Amino acid sequence: MVAKKSKKRKTPKKQNLATKIFWFFGCIFLLVYLSYSNIRIFFEQYENNKNLTQLNEAADSLQSQKIKLSAELNITGSEEYVEKVAREEFGYKKEGEQVVVIKKEEGNSLAEANQSDNLQFFKNIKEWIINLFK
């Protein structure tokens, strides 16, 4: 028996060129899409790291505030603190003690004192000029 030769099919050049163009643009599209996705993920990771840093700083601040408030709570619960507040705010006293109240000066009297100092300054200048020409 004699083996028959099979005929090879020849693909048209147009079809071969179209396939190459399809694969070329497909690879370009895939490359652009993967690059875009990679860049987007990078920026999201950057923003998340920045937010994480801010949240860690806030957590540290809150932790220090918690410690400070816990210490203050321990102090306010003591008998000495209650006695101190009662004396300062409500005027309580121990037996044998006298309560002395010191009133603070009004803010207006300070302004009046400054104004009278300014007037005195101008009076002194006036007297100096008068005495200069005598």
3-state secondary structure of 97: coil
User: In which residue ranges of the chain is pLDDT below 50?
Assistant: none
pLDDT for 54 = 97
pLDDT for 102 = 75
pLDDT for 26 = 96
3-state secondary structure of 124: helix
Q: Residue 52 burial by CB count (10 A; 0-12/13-18/19+): exposed, middle or buried?
A: exposed
pLDDT for 86 = 84
Which runs of consecutive H residues, i.e. helices, occur in the chain? 13-76, 79-90, 107-132
**pTM, 2 dp:** 0.45
What does the DSSP 8-state code read for residue 19?
H
Query: Could you give the CA distance from residue 125 to residue 116 in angstroms, rounded to a whole number?
Result: 14
What does the DSSP 8-state code read for residue 133?
T
